[in-house]
Amino acid sequence: MSTPCLRRGGRRDVSGENTVPARRAADHAGVELVVKRWSSGRAWRIVLSGAMGVAANAIALAYVAMTWGGPHRGVMVALYAAGALIGVVVIAAAQTLTTARGSRLIMLAVGVVSTVIVGVGAELDGGAGSPAALGFFAPSLLFAVTCPPRVMVGMEAMLVAVYAASAWSGTPPPGYIFVNLGGMLVIVAVCSLQAAMVAAQRRQLHELAQLDPLTGALNRRGMEQEAVPLLSSATADQPLSVLCLDFDDFKLINDTQGHAAGDQLLRWAVQTALLTLPMDALVARTGGDEFIMVLPGHAAAAAAAAGDRLRTALAARVGISCGAATAPDDGSDLAALVAVADERLYADKTRRRASRGALTV
């Protein structure tokens, strides 16, 4: 059976139930709420773009220095120095560019300017037959590795057009343009295919890193990454609630029925929660039988009602203890909300145990 819209949590040792609130709170306190921008592939692609620009222009400057007696050397130095400076600025601003509005347009503009610098440098050095024209390889590789396919095709077409234009001004040997251009396109094709394969693998690894392999629910890391953006926009008019729950006597189920039965119960509970809660709810397994649910748009009363519905739905196979907390009233970050909800979960567990004890007297 396929798992609908899976949003999920990570396993821990289920050899015993954790009944000490302080210990559990300390475990939740370790949640890292800030997802660092440097962990994203986009940030490193921007750094790679800037580094390649610096390296390519540094090589071009070295070539100009070694052939200082040639024409237009002063202009070429200024041109390549400007290209290297642009690369340095891109590296320095990489972290900001990962989230800045218009960052994609900025990087496209950098790519266009880099291509123009290479083209003008080749033109000043004698056209497509000059060593400076080899600089076209750097941006062609960069576009193949860092750009989405449709953007990459457009950027490569622009680069080929600039290269072709530079061919009219020089007198390269017969076949020189064909061999260079053909070799460039082959390299671009191979690099773009490899980049696409790496991107697909990265997406798969990213998904696996966010999901609990047993239940398909979010794991702790996945919950943090999904919940933090939602919490940042929570207000009194647009509240967000967190539910914490765990099973009653889960260790007893594992001990008497076996861990396979316990695992099947966990999977069933996640499926039931996904079917019971709203479609935009996040469901995470953060411990053996411990779950966190994030409910966007739910005030305290709505969260309590959702917890009651979930308790009723799960009662067919297992009893649960549940606690809720609401942002912004109970806290503004995930750790604070989980701590409050956890405390209320244990209060609920204590009341229910006392009630069961009273019934058996």
Predicted confidence at residue 23, as pLDDT, reads 39
pLDDT higher than 60, residue 166:
yes
Predicted confidence at residue 177, as pLDDT, reads 76
pLDDT higher than 50, residue 185:
yes
Mean pLDDT of 72-85: 95
Mean pLDDT of 24-36: 38
Predicted confidence at residue 35, as pLDDT, reads 38
Contact (CB, 8 A) for 29 and 304: no
Gap between the Cα atoms of 158 and 152, Å rounded = 10
Predicted confidence at residue 41, as pLDDT, reads 63
The whole-angstrom distance between residue 180's C-alpha and the CA centroid of its chain comes to: 38
What average pLDDT is seen over the chain? 82
Domain boundaries, the chain: 21-31+213-360, 37-208
Superfamily of structural domain 21-31+213-360: Reverse transcriptase/Diguanylate cyclase domain (3.30.70.270)
Contact (CB, 8 A) for 345 and 18: no
In tens, the pLDDT along 266-313 reads 999 999 999 999 999 999 999 889 999 999 999 999 999 999 999 999
Q: Which pLDDT band, with edges at 50, 70 and 90, does 57 fall under?
A: very high
Predicted confidence at residue 282, as pLDDT, reads 93
Is the pLDDT higher at 58 or at 8? 58
Mean pLDDT of 217-236: 87
Mean pLDDT of 108-118: 90
The whole-angstrom distance between residue 9's C-alpha and the CA centroid of its chain comes to: 17
Predicted confidence at residue 174, as pLDDT, reads 66
Predicted confidence at residue 311, as pLDDT, reads 94
Predicted confidence at residue 265, as pLDDT, reads 95
Q: Which pLDDT band, with edges at 50, 70 and 90, does 176 fall under?
A: confident
Torsion of CA 129, 134, 136, 139, to 10 degrees: 180
Contact (CB, 8 A) for 273 and 283: yes
pLDDT higher than 80, residue 20:
no
pLDDT higher than 60, residue 159:
yes
Q: Tell me which residue of 8, 125, 115 sits closest to 56, measured CA to CA.
A: 115
Contact (CB, 8 A) for 310 and 245: yes
Q: Which pLDDT band, with edges at 50, 70 and 90, does 14 fall under?
A: very low
Tokens of 27: 């475990």
Contact (CB, 8 A) for 122 and 172: no
Is the pLDDT higher at 3 or at 62? 62
Helices (H) and strands (E) in the chain, counts: 13, 4
Gap between the Cα atoms of 332 and 133, Å rounded = 56
Predicted confidence at residue 88, as pLDDT, reads 95
Tokens of 352: 């229910």
Q: Which pLDDT band, with edges at 50, 70 and 90, does 133 fall under?
A: confident
| Percent of all residues in the chain with a pLDDT value above 90, rounded to a whole number | 42
The CA-to-CA distance between both ends of the chain, in Å, stands at 44
Predicted confidence at residue 37, as pLDDT, reads 42
Is the pLDDT higher at 263 or at 142? 263
Q: Which pLDDT band, with edges at 50, 70 and 90, does 236 fall under?
A: confident
Write out the H or E segment, with its range, that includes residue 245. Answer: strand 240-247
Residues 6+ apart with CB under 8 A from 98: 37, 40, 42, 43, 46
